[in-house]
Structure 1
Amino acid sequence: MSNPSAFARRLRRYYAWYTGTFLLFVIGLAIGEYYGLSSHLIGHIFLFVTIAIYAGIGVMSRTSDVSEYYVAGRRVPAMFNGMATAADWMSAASFIGLAGTLYFSGFEGLAFVTGWTGGFVLVALLLAPYLRKFGQYTIPDFLGARYEGNVARLVGLGATILASFVYLVAQIYGVGLVTSRFVSIEFEIGLFVGLAGILVCSFLGGMRAVTWTQVAQYVILIIAYLVPVVILSYKLTGIPIPQAVYGTVLQQISEREQDLFEAPSEIEVRSLYRLRAEGYAAKIDALPGSLEVERRALIERLNALRLGNASARDIALTERTLRDLPRTADEARVQWEKARIDALERARPPPRHAQAHPGATPEESAVARNNFLALMFVLMVGTAALPHILMRYYTTPGVTDARKSVLWSLFFIFLLYVTAPAYAVFAKWEVYHNVVGSSLSILPEWVASWGKVGLVRIEDLNADGILQLAELRLNTDVIVLATPEIAGLPYVVSGLVAAGGLAAALSTADGLLLTISNALSHDLYYKVINPAATTHRRLVISKSQLLVVAVVAAWVASLRPDNILFMVGLAFSIGASAFFPALVLGIFWKRANRPGAVAGMLLGLAVTLYYVVRTHSFFGGSMSNAWFDINPISAGVFGVPLGFLTIVLVSLATRPPPQEIQDLVDYVRYPQLPPDHDRSPRS
C-alpha cells in the first residue's frame, strides 16, 4: 500500500459506518420486539445476519497471493491489528466463560484476568517485535531458522497443532452452545451452521479475510458484552458505569451470603449431599456385589411400578436409571467416584465472593493461594506463546507497529476484562435475591429454557418445594448468555449477547483454524515435503487442510467435552510449556542450540500432558495424584521451568550453534543492524 495513512483513514471510515449501521440494526430489532416481533425470529435474525456479514467480508477479501493469504500483506495498521488480536484473543472462554468463572470463584477467578492481561506485557517485551523483525509466516518458521532445520520445526509444528486444536474444539463447542439455545436447533446442527461461517471467513482469503472479519467481530462482541451489564448497572444502582459501581452491589452480596449460608434449609440440604457422598463411598467399597444389588433393586422396583399401574413418567424414569446403570464393576467405580466427588462439592458452601484464597484450614488456604499463583503464571506465559496470537504480529508493517499493536490489543481487551467482574457480581445479585428461596412452581422461565440444553439443573433434595442454593446447578458458561433473561431484559438484548458470543467464538476459531492449516501447508508440506511447490499448490494444500481440520474439530466438539474454560486453560499450558522457553531463549541467548531446544520442548510438553492425564477426571485421573495439589488446568507450571532448565543444560553440554545462527540472533535483537543482515538463514 503506497500510502499507509490514507489506507488507515479509509479503514476507520468504513468501520465507523459499519458500527453505526449495526447499532441502528439492534435499535430496529428492539422497536420490532416492542411491536410484537417474536423472540424466535429475533434469534434467527441475529444469527444469520451476523454470519452473513462475516461471510461477506470473507468473500470480498479473497486472495491468491501468498503474502496476503498468510500475513495479510504485512500492511495491517496497529490499531486495527489490535482490534483483530483482541477478537482473536477474546474467545468463547473470555466472552462466555470468564464472568461465569468469576461468579463461582469470586476473588480466585481474578487469576484469569491478571494472567491473561499480564501475558500481553510479556508479548510486548519479549516476543512480538523480535518475531516481526524476523519476518516469515509462522512460529515453526522461527524455530526452524533459529534452531537449524526441520527437527525443531516439526516439534513446533506438532505443538502448534495440539494447542490450537484443543483451543479450536472449545470455540466450536461454544458456537454449538449459542446456536442451539437461541435458534432452537439441535446442538450438533448448530455446530455445523457455525462451522460454515468459520470456513467462509477463512477459506477464501486466509489471514487477510480473517483480519478484517475479526475487526468486525470485535465491534459486535464488545457492544454485546457492554450493553447488558450497563443496563443492569443502571437498574441496580442508578449509575450506568458498571466498572465503577459494582462494589456497592458486592457489599450487598456479602450480606446476603451471611444469611444464606447459615440458613437451616441450606445446612439441611448440604447434609443430605454429604450423606449421598457417603452412600456412594460405601457402594464403591462393596463392589462388585453392590452393583448387582443395585441392578436387582431397580428391576424389582420397575416390576412393582408396572404391576401397580404407576405413572408412565415414573416407569420411564426407572427404565432410564436401569439402562444407565454401569455394566461392569470398573465402570461403576469410575462413575460412582465422580458422583461421590460431585456430592461432596455440593455439600460444601461455595466460597464467599470477596474472600481471597478461601479454605476451612490454613493448609487449604495455602493450596488455594498456590493454585491462584500457578494459574496466573501459566496464563501469562501461555498468552505469550500461543501461535495464533503471535502470528498476528507478522501482519503489521514493521517492528514499531508490532509494539503499538500490542498496546492497542491490551486496550481493547481491557474494555471487556475490566467489565467481567461487574457482570459476575450483578448476575449473582439477581440469582441470590430473585431465584434462590423461590418456590419451584414459580421459577423464572430462563431456568427451564436453559435446563433444556443442560446448563441449569435443579434437584429438590429435601422435598420442601423451595429452591435452596445447593439445589441449583448453573454451568459456568450460562452466566453471560442467560443474564439478560435473568434480569428480565428485553429479548433483543439476549439476541445481542448471543451474537457477541458467536462473534467471539468464530473470531478465535478463524484464527486457530488458519494457524493449523498454515502450519500443515507451509511448515510441513512446503518446508519439509515439497520445497519446490508452486504458490497455487501451497494455497490448495492449505485450504484442503483447513476443511479437514474444521470437520474433525466439529466432530470432537459434538461429543460435548469438558467446559470451555478448562479446555482453553489446557491449550495455554500446552503452548506455554512447548514454546515459551524455546522462543525466549532463542531470542535472548545465543548459546541455545538445536539439541537443547528440541529436548526442552519435548520434555516440557511431555510433563505437562502427563500431569493432565494423571490428575484430570476426564482422562481417568484423580487429584489424589496431584503434585503440591496443583489443579490440572495449571499443568504448564511444571513444564515451563523444566523446559528452560533442559534447554540450558543440554545446550551447555553440546556444541554451540554456528556463527550464522548467532548473527541471526543479533539481527533479530538489535534494530540498528543494517538491512543486509536480513540475508541471515531462514530455514
Structure 2
Amino acid sequence: MDVLLFSVVVFIYLLMVGYVGYIAWKRTDSSEDYMVAGRDTHPYIMALSYGATFISTAAIVGFGGVAGQFGMGILWLVFLNILVGVFIAFIVFGKPTRRMGQKMGALTFPEFLARRFDSKFIQYFSGLIIFGAMPLYASVVLIGAARFMQTTLSMNFNIALIILAAIIAAYVIFGGIKGVMYTDALQGTIMFAGMLVLLGFIYWTLGGVTAAHQALTNMAYLMPQSVVAMGATGWTSSPVLGSAWWWTLVSSIILGVGIGALAQPQLAVRFMTVKSSKELNRAVLMGGLFIFVMTFTAYVVGSLSNVYFFQHLGKIAVDVAGGNVDSIIPIFINMAMPEWFAYIFMLTLLAAAMSTISAQFHVQGTAIGRDVYETLKGNKGQRSVFITRVGILVAVVIAVVVAYLLPGSVVAQGTSIFFGLCASAFLPMFVCALFWKRATKSGAIAGLMTGTFVSLFWLVFMHKKEAAGLGICKWLTGSSVLVTTMPWPVVDPIVVALPLAFIVTIIVSLLTKPPAEEVLERCFGETSSK
C-alpha cells in the first residue's frame, strides 16, 4: 500500500465531506430543515441524493457479487431500478407525495401515511418497523464498504466498521437531512465518475464488449454442478423456468429490490424536500442516468469478473472469493485495477456506503424521535430533534453490532429482505393514500399488519434461506421449513405478502365507513370521496 497516496486521497475526500457537512449544519435552523431540508432542495442535489441513497455498497459489492454468481440475468434489475425506482417513483408517486406532504405538513414518511389516514397508530407502528428492521439494511451496507477496506488496506474488518460508522454518525446527527443530502450530492458525483471508469476498464481489459460477453458465454460449462442442479444454465442465459435458481433470481433479487424501492422511507421522504413538481421533472433525467450507470456497471463487472479470474487464475469468481460473494468485487478491483484506481474506487464505495447509511440513520432517528416519541408523548419542537439525534446514535450502535454478527455473503440477501418487507408493509397503504380516496384508516391498518406479519412469517417458516439460518421452524417442527414442496421454499416473501396486503387493504376499506370529508379536504384540498 502506498501510504502517502492513500493518505492524500482520503484526506481530500474527508475534507470535502467535512466542509459540505459544515455548510449543511449552518443552514439547519428548524425541525423542517432537519427533516425535509426546508422543502427547497435543488433538483440536482435531490436527484443525486436519491440515487446515492438508493445505490449503495449493497448494489455495488453485494449485488455485483451476486452477478458474479448468477450472471447477466440480474440486468433485469437495472430495468426495474430505472423504470420503477426513477420514472414511476418520481413522476407517478413523487409529485402527489410532494404536494400532499406539503399540504399536510408531514415531515417523515410514517407521518405522511398517518396524516393521510388520520391514525396515530400508523405513525408509531410504522416508525417501529423502520427503527427495528432498518439496522439489517444499514449493517449490510456497512459490511460492503468494510470488506473493501479490509481487502484494499489489509485493515481489520471490525476497525473498518467502527471508523465508517463514526464518520457518518457525526454529520448526520448534527446536519440532519441537509447534511445527508449535501454530502450525498458530493458522494454521488464521485460514485458516478468511478463507475464509468470501471466499466470502460473491464471492457478494455477483456478485449471489447463482444469479446468479453462471448468469452463469458463460452464458460457455461464451468458453472458449478450444485447450481446447475438448481436450474442454472450459464452466466449469459436464463435459468430453467420455475427452477430454484430461477425463483431466487426473479423473486428475491429482481422483484424484491425492483418493486421494493417504491416504499423505501428514506427515498420517499426525498420527494418532500423540493418546492415544486418542476424540480422533480428536472431530477428524473439525472436520477435515471445515475442509477443506470451505477447498477449496469456493478452487474456487468460482477458477471465479467468470471472471465478475468478464469483467464488469470483458472477459477471462476465464486471460487476465487472462497464462496463469499461479497468479496468478488473487492478482489477483482484490487487484482485487476491499477493501485491508484483501487484507492479512488475505495472512495467510490465509501461514498456509496456513507450516502446510503446516512439516509438510513436519519430515517431511523426521525422514526424514533418524531414518529414514535412525539406521537406517543405529544412533545414538539427541539425536544423531538434531541430524541431524533439520540435515536440516530442508537441506530449507529445497533447497525455496527448487527454487522459483527451477520455471516458472509449476506449483503444482497439483507438488502432484499428489507426492501421486500417495506414493500409488503407500506406499498399498499402508500398507493391507496395517493390514488384512492375511498381507502379508510381500518383498511390501511389491516394492510399494514398483513404485509408486516405475513412477511415475517414467511421469513421464519417458509423461505428456506432465512428459515434454515434462523432455526426457529426447525426447533418448533423438526423441519427447516413448513412446506418442502417446490417452489415454496424458494419463493420470496414479497410474492405472497404484497398481494395479500393489497387485497386486505381494499376489502377492509370497502367494508368500512368512508373517510371523513375534512380528512380528504386536508389531504387533497377537495371534499369529493369518489
TM-score by length of 2: 0.88
Instruction: Tell me what 1:541 maps to.
Output: 387
Q: For residues 372 and 664 of structure 1, what CA distance do their matches in structure 2 show? A: 43
1:159 to 122, 129, 135: 129
1:75 aligns with 2:45: no
Corresponding position of 2:300: 422
State how far apart, in whole Å, the 1-side matches of 2:385 and 2:491 are.
Answer: 36
User: Aligned to 1:61, what secondary structure does the other structure show?
Assistant: helix
Once the 2 structures are TM-superposed, how far is the Cα of residue 206 of structure 1 from its aligned partner? 0.4
Pair 1:394-2:272 in alignment: yes
Cα separation, 2, equivalents of 1:173 and 1:371: 22
- Aligned: 1:141 with 2:104: no
Listed as ranges, the gaps of 5+ residues in structure 1 are: 1-37, 238-244, 271-343, 439-454, 459-471, 668-672
Whole-angstrom distance in 2 between the partners of 1:581 and 1:636: 12
Q: 1:559 to 1:403 in 2, by over 3 A?
A: same
1:432 aligns with 2:316: no
Query: C-alpha deviations, 1:303-330, integer Å up to 9, x for none?
Result: xxxxxxxxxxxxxxxxxxxxxxxxxxxx
Alignment of 1:29-428 (within 5 A): 38-62=1-25, 63-120=28-85, 121-134=87-100, 135=102, 136-237=106-207, 245-258=208-221, 260=222, 344=226, 351-358=233-240, 364=243, 368-375=245-252, 376-428=254-306
Query: 2:64 touches 2:299 (CA, 8 Å); kept in 1?
Result: yes
Alpha-carbon shift at residue 196 of structure 1 (Å): 1.4
Q: Please state how far the C-alpha of 1:408 moved relative to its aligned partner.
A: 2.7
Shift of residue 231, structure 1, vs aligned partner: 2.3
Instruction: Show CA shifts across 1:311-367 (max 9, x none).
Output: xxxxxxxxxxxxxxxxxxxxxxxxxxxxxxxxx559889641111123xxx763xx5
Inter-CA distance 211–658: structure 2 relative to 1 (3 Å threshold): same
Instruction: Tell me whether 80-89 or 226-235 shows the greater mean CA deviation.
Output: 226-235
Which AA in structure 2 matches 1:116? N
Bigger radius of gyration among the two = 1
Identity %, equivalent residues: 23
Residues 197-206 or 51-60, more deviating: 51-60
Give yes or no for contact 1:58–1:200 (8 Å, CA) kept in 2. no
Q: Distance in 1 between matches of 2:386 and 2:419?
A: 30
**How much does 1:47 deviate?**
4.0
CA distance in 2, matches of 1:171, 1:627: 33
CA distance in 2, matches of 1:435, 1:585: 54
Structure 2 partner of 1:292: none
Shift in CA distance, 115/163, structure 1 to aligned 2, threshold 3 Å: farther
Structure 2 unaligned blocks of 5 or more: 474-479
1:517 and 2:369 equivalent? no
Change (3 A) 1:651 1:230: same
Q: Is the CA contact (8 Å cut-off) linking 1:44 and 1:183 kept in structure 2?
A: no
Q: Does the CA contact (< 8 Å) of 1:596 and 1:651 recur in 2?
A: yes
**Distance 1:627-1:148 versus aligned 2 partners, 3 A rule:** farther
For residues 619 and 44 of structure 1, do their structure 2 counterparts lie closer, same or farther at Cα, with a shift above 3 Å needed? farther
Evaluate the alpha carbon distance shift between residue 624 and residue 100 of structure 1 in structure 2; reply closer, same or farther with a 3 A threshold. Answer: farther
Shift of 1:235: 2.9
Q: Secondary structure at the match of 1:431?
A: helix
Aligned mate of 2:506, from 648, 661, 665 = 648
Which letter does structure 2 place at the counterpart of 1:597? A
Tell me: CA distance 1:345–1:55, structure 2 relative to 1, closer, same or farther (3 Å): same
Q: CA deviation at 1:425?
A: 4.2
Go from structure 1 to structure 2 and tell me whether the alpha carbon gap of 1:553 and 1:372 turns closer, same or farther (over 3 Å shift).
closer
Mapped to 2, the partners of 1:414 and 1:47 lie a distance apart of 27
Over 3 Å counting, the alpha-carbon distance change for 1:368 and 1:478 in structure 2 is closer
- CA–CA separation in structure 1 for the residues paired with 2:315 and 2:8: 36
Offset at 1:593? Answer: 0.9
Q: Structure 2 CA distance, aligned partners of 1:577 and 1:632?
A: 17
CA distance in 2, matches of 1:525, 1:546: 13
Closer, same or farther: CA 571–348 of 1 in aligned 2, 3 Å: closer
Partners of 1:513 and 1:40 lie apart in 2 by: 31
The answer to whether the 8 Å contact 2:203/2:212 transfers is no
User: 1:486 and 2:456 equivalent?
Assistant: no
Q: 2:357 is matched by which residue type in structure 1?
A: A
- Tell me the amino acid that sits aligned with residue 347 of structure 2: A
Query: What is the Cα deviation at residue 630 of structure 1?
Result: 5.1
CA shift, 1:380, in A, is: 3.0
Q: Which residue identity does 1:588 align to in structure 2?
A: F
C-alpha separation in 2, matches of 1:86 and 1:400 = 18
Displacement of 1:517 in angstroms is 0.3
Tell me: CA distance 1:49–1:625, structure 2 relative to 1, closer, same or farther (3 Å): farther
Deviation at 1:81?
0.8
* DSSP-derived class of the 2:406 partner: coil
Amino acid at match of 2:348: G
Change (3 A) 1:182 1:368: closer
Query: Could you say which residue in structure 1 is the equivalent of 2:476?
Result: none
AA matched with 2:148: V
Q: TM-score if structure 1 supplies the norm length? A: 0.69
Q: Secondary structure at the match of 1:83?
A: helix
8 A Cα contact 1:163 1:575, kept in partner:
no
**CA deviation after TM superposition for structure 1 residue 159, in Å:** 2.5
Report the residue type matching 1:118 in the other structure. Answer: L
Task: Find the residue that maps to 1:591 and give its secondary structure.
Answer: coil
The structure-2 alpha-carbon separation of the partners of 1:579 and 1:407, relative to structure 1 and needing over 3 Å to count, comes to farther
In angstroms, what is the RMSD of aligned CA positions?
2.8
Bigger Cα displacement from structure 2, 194-203 vs 162-171: 162-171
8 A contact 1:484–1:491 mirrored in 2: no
Map Cα deviations across residues 225-255 of structure 1 (whole Å, 9 max, x no partner).
2223322322332xxxxxxx52431112222
| Cα distance between partner residues in 1 of 2:508 and 2:485 | 25
Q: State the 1:457 CA deviation.
A: 6.4
Asked whether the 8 Å contact 1:132–1:402 carries over to 2, the reply is no
Deviation at 1:523, TM superposition (A): 1.6
8 A Cα contact 1:379 1:569, kept in partner: yes
State whether residues 136 and 402 of structure 2, in contact with CA within 8 Å, keep that contact through their aligned partners in structure 1.
no
Q: 1:102–1:424: 8 Å Cα contact kept in structure 2?
A: yes
Cα distance in 2 between the residues matched to 1:456 and 1:110: 19
1 CA distance for matches of 2:377 and 2:485? 41
